[in-house]
């Protein structure tokens, strides 16, 4: 069993991005710029945004936070999106989710110019991905794909079972792995990714265990601790755990610890490759945002 070390790969990619940004600076070009829009004071969102700002600073990408009170109107936020869409100094921007209830998330996301949508969440980018057009892929699917590529885990002809059908993980990763690989992201070997046979399972799937036992690669993004157990995994499979769940742990200083969707102790010995939680997919997601920002900059 080999651990897919997202922490290490993410550090390698950060170094690559740092070097690319430094080359731009040395050549007298402006550096890429990301703007992060945050509304209200959701503590989790504030932590995510702080981490994203820090990650940008570490690689030399310029980052600006635009904070709005929770009372901001949808019209005011749409005006900000329009301003960012037309600001040539901004390569990419994201609107941190969730938004307050009086603001329609779809209206805001749909208004973002897909070329600046470094979260890859606009209907335009998702549609472009589905049709095999150049697109910006959302952070977690991009991170998973990058992790598979860096460990030379080919997907062609393989049976990939995805558990979870969310817009930000399940649906896009299924789409990416089934498509013809001509749409490979710049850092990937075109031959190795895509062309998989993909089965998407969800909460209403019957006999999940039997389906999983036929998988070469299982990607679990269901938000349910220990959902994937050893009896569901065949010997030599690859398991990618996207779950981040808090479980009570009185022994931990915080009173909780983070676990994935996989019963790691039981499942790991049967696998060829498996991601740990934490330290697997998680660290890849922020690095994907940095890659997407560089991609948006380069596409200008």
Nearer to ligand GUN, 171 or 237 (CB): 171
Is 96 among the catalytic positions? yes
Three-state DSSP at 14 gives: helix
Q: Do residues 185 and 258 make contact, with C-beta atoms less than 8 angstroms apart?
A: no
Nearer to ligand GUN, 32 or 172 (CB): 172
Burial (0-12, 13-18, 19+ Cβ within 10 Å), 242 = buried
Query: How far apart are alpha carbons 159 and 179 in whole angstroms?
Result: 13
Nearer to ligand GUN, 70 or 191 (CB): 70
Nearer to ligand GUN, 95 or 267 (CB): 95
Footprint of ligand GUN on this chain (CB under 6 A)?
48, 94-97, 119, 139
Query: How far apart are alpha carbons 56 and 12 in whole angstroms?
Result: 15
Exactly one of 5, 33, 91, 96 is catalytic; name it.
96
Rounded to a whole number of angstroms, the minimum distance from the CB of residue 218 to ligand GUN is 23
Query: How far apart are alpha carbons 276 and 7 in whole angstroms?
Result: 10
Query: How far apart are alpha carbons 38 and 51 in whole angstroms?
Result: 13
Angle 6-10-16 from CA coordinates, rounded to 5°: 150
Exactly one of 5, 20, 33, 52 is catalytic; name it.
52
Rounded to a whole number of angstroms, the minimum distance from the CB of residue 117 to ligand GUN is 10
Nearer to ligand GUN, 36 or 217 (CB): 36
Is 23 among the catalytic positions? no
Rounded to a whole number of angstroms, the minimum distance from the CB of residue 251 to ligand GUN is 28
Q: Which residue is nearest to ligand GUN (CB)?
A: 97
Rounded to a whole number of angstroms, the minimum distance from the CB of residue 176 to ligand GUN is 16
Rounded to a whole number of angstroms, the minimum distance from the CB of residue 119 to ligand GUN is 5
Rounded to a whole number of angstroms, the minimum distance from the CB of residue 65 to ligand GUN is 13
Q: Do residues 148 and 186 make contact, with C-beta atoms less than 8 angstroms apart?
A: no
Angle 18-55-41 from CA coordinates, rounded to 5°: 160
Nearer to ligand GUN, 48 or 151 (CB): 48
Three-state DSSP at 300 gives: coil
Is 119 among the catalytic positions? yes
Exactly one of 117, 119, 216, 241 is catalytic; name it.
119
The gap from C-alpha 257 to its chain's centroid, in whole angstroms, comes to 22
Query: How far apart are alpha carbons 5 and 210 in whole angstroms?
Result: 28
Q: Do residues 48 and 88 make contact, with C-beta atoms less than 8 angstroms apart?
A: no
Q: Which residues are catalytic?
A: 52, 96, 119
């Amino acid at each position: 069993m080999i651990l897919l070390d997202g922490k290490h790969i993410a550090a390698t990619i950060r170094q690559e991005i740092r070097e690319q940004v430094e080359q731009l600076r040395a050549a007298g070009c402006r550096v890429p710029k990301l703007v992060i829009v945050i509304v209200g004071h959701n503590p989790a969102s504030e932590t995510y945004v702080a981490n994203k700002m820090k990650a940008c600073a570490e690689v030399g990408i310029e980052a600006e936070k635009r904070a709005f009170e929770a009372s901001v109107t949808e019209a005011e936020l749409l005006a900000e999106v329009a301003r960012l869409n037309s600001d040539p100094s901004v390569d990419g921007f994201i609107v941190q989710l969730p938004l307050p209830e009086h603001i329609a998330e779809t209206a805001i996301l749909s208004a973002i110019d897909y070329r600046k949508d470094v979260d890859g969440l606009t209907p335009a980018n998702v549609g472009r991905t589905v049709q095999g057009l150049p697109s910006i892929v959302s952070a977690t699917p991009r991170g998973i794909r990058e992790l598979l590529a860096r460990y030379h885990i080919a997907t062609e002809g393989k049976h990939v079972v995805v558990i979870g059908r969310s817009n930000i993980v399940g649906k896009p990763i299924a789409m990416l792995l089934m498509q013809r690989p001509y749409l490979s992201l710049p850092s990937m070997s075109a031959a190795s990714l895509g062309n998989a046979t993909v089965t998407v399972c969800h909460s209403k799937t019957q006999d999940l265990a039997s389906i999983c036992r036929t998988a070469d690669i299982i990607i679990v993004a269901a938000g349910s601790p220990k959902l994937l157990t050893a009896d569901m995994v065949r010997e030599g499979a690859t398991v990618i755990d996207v779950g981040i769940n808090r479980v009570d742990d009185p022994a931990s200083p915080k009173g909780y610890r983070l676990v994935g969707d996989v019963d790691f102790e039981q499942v790991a010995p049967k696998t060829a490759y498996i991601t740990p939680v934490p330290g697997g997919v998680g660290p890849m997601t922020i690095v994907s945002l940095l890659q997407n920002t560089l991609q948006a900059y380069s596409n200008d």
